[in-house]
Structure 1
């Protein structure tokens, strides 16, 4: 299964091999089990401001910047973008609502696979649409000595959020590597789109309520049912990357 997926990727992209140097992780829904709280927060706050955004739809917008999410719904229901003041007010309320939930726990399997990746001399990176001020502290507390601030891409770094490839292209630039020297780990349709558009081998982990086909249809090269499953399979997968060639 892995060999075929890698071969198809190399053939479609015109690369001779995957010379793995870095693993690029989305954060919400991949490193932390935070998406249920995000989905509930979006639904409750948007309803408060007179918009309709279901929890299920929130998963489809995962990875998009807050302003983009608000504008998509505003255009759908009012026929125009929200004002900057409206965006700031709604997103602030959403942040307050999200912070009212208990802190999201580390996703089972995330620390285990990150420990393997770090011990193998690979560069672990976070590429997130989040703009949380305490992001690095939270990552360091849950994944000690694994992530470096200068090798993170957040909402503050990019002009275009996912599904635009800019976040992942910026990650490649920060790490000083090429597209065939990294893999992307994503759980969201928009994140998968972004990884694929950046030309990187993209692995989906379905940690939410979406049908597998939604992630595969966006172009995911491989799909795992959980981060635990991905962690358990990592060494076999890395071996295939190491041996990949056309």
Structure 2
């Protein structure tokens, strides 16, 4: 049975469009250190693509924070927003956005980050081709639940199978697969292990988009 032609590309932001993961990690490590949490390399790897509330809950269970989730997240977010002008796009990402726009594909951003971070990234990218962005507050369930991507398809007026997703993290890829979308894993680090995805690539642009969109 032939696949539904792709009509939209949904992008993760942190680590996919923006090379922002090192900034998030450095700021999170520094803020946590200030509250008595020394994060190991393994801690940092396990946080990749995971929403703040899950990270906070895991760390708080290990050693209680003297501040609540919202104050902790606000502190991290404020530091990131102050430095977002220094964050660079991921190499090749913006060229792909332009190429997809030239094909007439709809595009939107679907993040597990909070609205403050998403809006800061959207302003920093300043790309006109994104129809909208979805942040963690926009859904009841964040990634790896399919809700964020299903909401994006609904907002575009497209069936999930007409959407392709580009993700850098296993958490995001699980969300896209669970939503029934063509899932393209574009990791920054070759050691990252994914569950089943449709394509694991070094360059999403190298895929046969003529066939995918035909």
Contact 2:164 2:181 in 1 (8 A): yes
Q: Over residues 39-84 of structure 1, what are the superposed CA-to-partner deviations in whole Å (9 max), with x where a residue is unaligned? A: 1122222222223433553343233321121012223x15x8x79x
- Which residue of the partner structure matches residue 112 of structure 1? 95
- Which residue of the partner structure matches residue 142 of structure 1? 125
TM-score for the superposition, normalised by structure 1 = 0.77
- Which residue of the partner structure matches residue 65 of structure 1? 51
1:95 aligns with 2:77: yes
- Which residue of the partner structure matches residue 202 of structure 1? 183
- Which residue of the partner structure matches residue 179 of structure 1? 160
CA RMSD of superposed structures (Å): 2.4
Number of residue pairs aligned between Structure 1 and Structure 2: 213
Match of residue 219, structure 1, among 181, 196, 214: 196
Q: How far, CA to CA, are the matches of 1:177 and 1:155 in structure 2?
A: 21
- Long gaps (5+) in structure 2: none
Contact 2:118 2:135 in 1 (8 A): no
Q: How far, CA to CA, are the matches of 2:41 and 2:28 in structure 1?
A: 7
Contact 1:65 1:161 in 2 (8 A): yes
Contact 2:186 2:204 in 1 (8 A): yes
- 5 Å-filtered alignment, 1:1-246, equals 16-75=2-61, 77-78=62-63, 86-99=68-81, 101=83, 103-133=86-116, 135-136=118-119, 138-139=121-122, 142-148=125-131, 151-208=132-189, 211-212=191-192, 214-215=193-194, 218-225=195-202, 229-231=203-205, 233=206, 236-242=207-213
Q: How far, CA to CA, are the matches of 1:175 and 1:58 in structure 2?
A: 34
Contact 1:106 1:142 in 2 (8 A): yes
Shift of 1:207: 1.3
Shift of 1:196: 1.2
